[in-house]
Structure 1
Amino acid sequence: MENESGLHRGLRGRQLTMIGLGGAIGTGLFLGSSLAISQAGPATIIAYIACAAVALVIGWALAEMVVVHPQAGAFGIIAHRYLGPWSGFVVRWTYWTVQVIAIGGEVIAGGIYVRFWWPSLPLWVPVVVFSAVVLITNAVAVRVFGEVEYWFSMIKVAAIVVFILLGILLITVGLPGAEATGTAHLTAHGGFLPNGINGLSLAIVFVLFSYVGVEVVSVTAAESENPARDIPRAARRMVTRLALFYIVAITIVLTVVPWTTTAQGGAVTESPFVRVFSAAGIPAAATIMNFVVLTAALSSANTNLYLTTRMMHSLATGGYAPAWTGRLSGSGVPRNALALSALGLALAASLSAASESEAYLALFGVSVFGALVVWLLILATHWAFRRTRRIQGLPPSPVQLWGAPVTSLLAMLFLAGALVSTLFIAPLRPAWWAGVPFFAILSIAYWMTSRRSKALASAEKPI
């Protein structure tokens, strides 16, 4: 079955939930969490709780809007409708750019995990191999992609559950060859809040990136078999499970291993989840966990490549990207858009060859800047969505964000504060140098594109 844009409605409800988790549970948790811990220590737990609340607001706001408008392009199309064409153009191109960069970050993280087993292996080698894997998976029919991503995500969800159970045993009663750790690590080494409120606020920036991906369910609406039923259900399940997994898992990491060890001095060379088992003297479990976090990175890259391809297709059908990027294969896959969206993979291979130690952090900084801007625009769209429907006397969406517009306004203030905080994190500061000119260039591109569209429309009018 096809929708109005030609995309095939081949994704089932169970696949949507797992695709949502697959897009969100990636390197932000398994690798980037060490960056947050280096800023806030044990108080990183508070950062994960606060950011979970914001992610919940964004997920619910999107579900409320997408149920009414289950179209290709998701929140980009809705922003166009309620905030104007400039917003629709900017949010879609920004999201596409952010996710293209994020894909590169995920495959680089996958390469870092592989070097847990082969430390001397050049980073670019696994990056190129993993890039080929996710490209092939995305080039097939959407139903096949959905099934592959379902099992990818199932592996890491099951692994997190096992990790939590083992962690609880290690904390309370111990494991063979490892005594119970208790909770002393949560207050040792400078206390629960070793770097004060300032450290906590800086950690929030890294933690927020762990939740990037909550918007993935809305992008799948155009290829869902029953979006009115499946999208709200998938959004609820995804966000609540995500918050539970993140908060409990990070609590275990910080309880089992001293935060000063997990933080690794702010470097990114190994997952803190693997360090938990290594520190506990369980090398076999550490190897298994490293395989799991590798799967998580590939799953996230796989889902993000799907997202960027569909967003590019949406831009093409709206006349804001080259028409050739909107063409579909016989199986309903926009392969030209897929090829263009693979730029992030090429960037990852180049960076991993030129600067192995800084590659992940460099991509992370630019991604987090754009992601925060996209989330702010999503919440602004939700405010305009409710206001417009109220003024026009239209019925409310069957899905309602609790406490709106107060909850969405508080979430916007939280995100704006996090965006400003990136100015005070040296590795992320360059993201502003790229981000501000990027939005200026986007505005110019929109002006030129809209002028050309108007000129073509005028030329086609009958005399």
Structure 2
Amino acid sequence: MAVPPPTTDTRGLRRALTGPQLSMIGLGGAIGTGLFLGSALAISHAGPAIVVAYALCALVAFVIAWALTEMVVVHPEAGSFGAVAHRYLGPLAGFVQRWTYWTIQAIAVGGEIVAAGLYVRFWWPDLPLWPLVAAFSAVVLTANALAVRFFGAVEYWFAMVKVVAVAVFIALGLLLIAVGLPESPATGLSHLTAHGGFLPNGVSGLFLAMVFVLFSYLGTEVVAVTAAESENPGRDLPRAARRMVLRLVLFYVLAIAVIVTVAPWTVTAQGGSVDASPFVRVVAGAGVPAAATIINFVVLTAALSSANTNLYLSTRMLHSLAADGYAPAWTARVSRTGVPRNALALSALGPALAVALSATSGSAYLALFGVSVFGALLVWMLILATHWAFRRAATHRSPVRLWGAPVTSGLAALFLLAVLVSTAFIDGLDTAWRVGLPFFAALVVVHTVITRRRSRSTP
């Protein structure tokens, strides 16, 4: 197999994203609404040991992010890891990975936009949902349709709200634990061992929690997708990846530790509305008025940030597929400002479908969720497989190297495989195999058909 040379092919995209924007885009894509309102399901399985689950899954996310950075620094091209998979694993892998990633991100955009509408109804519960969904869809479509520098600026401030909110929560939470706050006495560490101990459901409960926790780190691959539009990928991508992963680990692990320390895990595991969020309890304990309103604003911003970033990701993947002849040719075109607006228009069909199904058919939306779960794990495993092939084939040494590879990447791949297998036996995730496997098989069939047509049309 010939060794592909380093590449800088942007397929018409503009290198306009700065280093600080890359860092914030990475954090914004990975810190979603699940941290603020979710995590209850994982806590119900692991109890206070959920901190261990977040720390272990953070290591897996770090391996994936660093393996990606090692590859895209050498190949900072349009299509990111999908294009690199095309080079080192073959056209089928690149086709499956990019179409799978486009699908899961398009579904995610729809889910986040619906969530944003629901968060607005926290203030005005009588408002119909569809006008809110339409308005937020227009916001993220506009942000993505303008020059990529504008998208970077919008996402920078969206993500900044989340980052500041988490940092303030951690600081106030540590004060509440250690010395107390004006409206609440110190909680101490007693909640970590009460109600059944630190590991109330044993090791099996901890592993089951990790299955759910792992999905909290989806989005760590965002920085790699921006490679083709980074001003200086060789300098900025490693910095952004390092900062993103370290801050992400710090924020997630510390925030979750605060959550299970300031309140009994049995209470947090029940979930509930914004008012029941541990974030509200900590902010209210500091004597801040309207704590629930503040947290709801933060969660609304988090949903819009995720939708904005996910739409960007799906658009760039579709543009890359079209450039390689695996999507309609017109979606490969870019505007005068370097934005693939045709790909953006087609990617908007994904959110529209997700929104429609979420409002009309619960079973259909569960099918979309199953594709997302199966697809996300498949994409991550293909990234690690590509890294293995990259290390074997590449003669151009990357300035960024994943420590301990291929052992570390192999262990991460085995963990992902174990999680994927376990989804078949977990209520709520079992749709991953029932829907995801046929979806994967359909992609293989479509690729085979396209390849045969190409071979017949070529003299």
Q: TM-score range by the shorter chain?
A: over 0.9
Q: How does 1:193-272 map to 2 (within 5 A)?
A: 193-264=199-270, 272=277
Q: Structure 2: how far apart are the matches of 1:397 and 1:324?
A: 34
Per-residue CA distance 1:53-109 (angstroms, 9 max, x = gap): 001101110011001111000111111111111101111111111111111222233
Q: Structure 1: how far apart are the matches of 2:78 and 2:32?
A: 24
For the 8 Å contact 1:202–1:422, the answer to whether it is kept is: no
Q: Residue 184 of structure 2: which of 178, 191, 200 is its match?
A: 178
Matched, 1:422 2:428: no
Counterpart of 1:384 in structure 2 is 389
Counterpart of 1:325 in structure 2 is 331
Q: CA deviation at 1:282?
A: 5.6
Counterpart of 1:446 in structure 2 is 447
Per-residue CA distance 1:205-240 (angstroms, 9 max, x = gap): 221111111111111111111111111111111111
For the 8 Å contact 2:224–2:237, the answer to whether it is kept is: yes
Counterpart of 1:411 in structure 2 is 412
Per-residue CA distance 1:275-312 (angstroms, 9 max, x = gap): 53488586522321221121111111101100000000
- Which residue identity is paired with 1:51? C
Q: Residue 142 of structure 2: which of 136, 142, 146 is its match?
A: 136
Q: CA deviation at 1:113?
A: 2.5
Look up the SS of the partner of 2:310 in the other structure.
helix
For the 8 Å contact 2:50–2:209, the answer to whether it is kept is: yes
For the 8 Å contact 2:43–2:268, the answer to whether it is kept is: yes
Counterpart of 1:307 in structure 2 is 313
For the 8 Å contact 1:10–1:223, the answer to whether it is kept is: yes
Q: Structure 1: how far apart are the matches of 2:60 and 2:76?
A: 23
Q: TM-score, normalised by structure 2?
A: 0.93
Counterpart of 2:457 in structure 1 is 456
User: Closer, same or farther in 2 for the Cα pair 1:31/1:365, shift >3 Å?
Assistant: farther
Q: CA deviation at 1:122?
A: 4.1
User: Closer, same or farther in 2 for the Cα pair 1:442/1:48, shift >3 Å?
Assistant: same
Q: CA deviation at 1:196?
A: 1.9
Q: CA deviation at 1:329?
A: 1.7
Q: Structure 1: how far apart are the matches of 2:364 and 2:257?
A: 28
For the 8 Å contact 1:325–1:336, the answer to whether it is kept is: yes
For the 8 Å contact 1:365–1:428, the answer to whether it is kept is: yes
Counterpart of 1:31 in structure 2 is 37
Q: Structure 1: how far apart are the matches of 2:128 and 2:78?
A: 39
- Which residue identity is paired with 2:140? V
- Which residue identity is paired with 2:62? L
Matched, 1:157 2:158: no
Q: CA deviation at 1:274?
A: 4.0
For the 8 Å contact 2:176–2:187, the answer to whether it is kept is: yes
Counterpart of 1:52 in structure 2 is 58
Per-residue CA distance 1:409-445 (angstroms, 9 max, x = gap): 0000111111112122211111211100000100000
- Which residue identity is paired with 1:196? G
Count of residue pairs the alignment pairs up? 451
User: Closer, same or farther in 2 for the Cα pair 1:450/1:273, shift >3 Å?
Assistant: farther
For the 8 Å contact 2:29–2:220, the answer to whether it is kept is: yes
User: Closer, same or farther in 2 for the Cα pair 1:270/1:64, shift >3 Å?
Assistant: farther
Percent identity, aligned pairs only, is 69
Per-residue CA distance 1:128-172 (angstroms, 9 max, x = gap): 322221111111110100111111111111111111111111112
Look up the SS of the partner of 2:77 in the other structure.
coil
For the 8 Å contact 2:371–2:439, the answer to whether it is kept is: no
Q: CA deviation at 1:360?
A: 8.4
Counterpart of 2:432 in structure 1 is 431
Counterpart of 1:461 in structure 2 is none
Q: Structure 1: how far apart are the matches of 2:56 and 2:273?
A: 24
Q: Residue 168 of structure 1: which of 170, 174, 182 is its match?
A: 174
Per-residue CA distance 1:34-62 (angstroms, 9 max, x = gap): 22112222111111000100011011100
Q: Structure 2: how far apart are the matches of 1:270 and 1:324?
A: 47
Q: CA deviation at 1:363?
A: 5.2
User: Closer, same or farther in 2 for the Cα pair 1:36/1:355, shift >3 Å?
Assistant: farther
Counterpart of 1:396 in structure 2 is 397
Q: TM-score, normalised by structure 1?
A: 0.92
What 5-or-longer segments of structure 1 have no aligned partner?
A: 459-463
For the 8 Å contact 1:28–1:211, the answer to whether it is kept is: no
Moved more, 347-356 or 181-190: 347-356
Query: RMSD between aligned alpha carbons?
Result: 2.2
Q: Structure 2: how far apart are the matches of 1:417 and 1:234?
A: 29
Moved more, 209-218 or 282-291: 282-291
What 5-or-longer segments of structure 2 have no aligned partner?
A: 1-7
Q: Residue 376 of structure 2: which of 371, 383, 394 is its match?
A: 371
- Which residue identity is paired with 2:352? A
Matched, 1:78 2:78: no
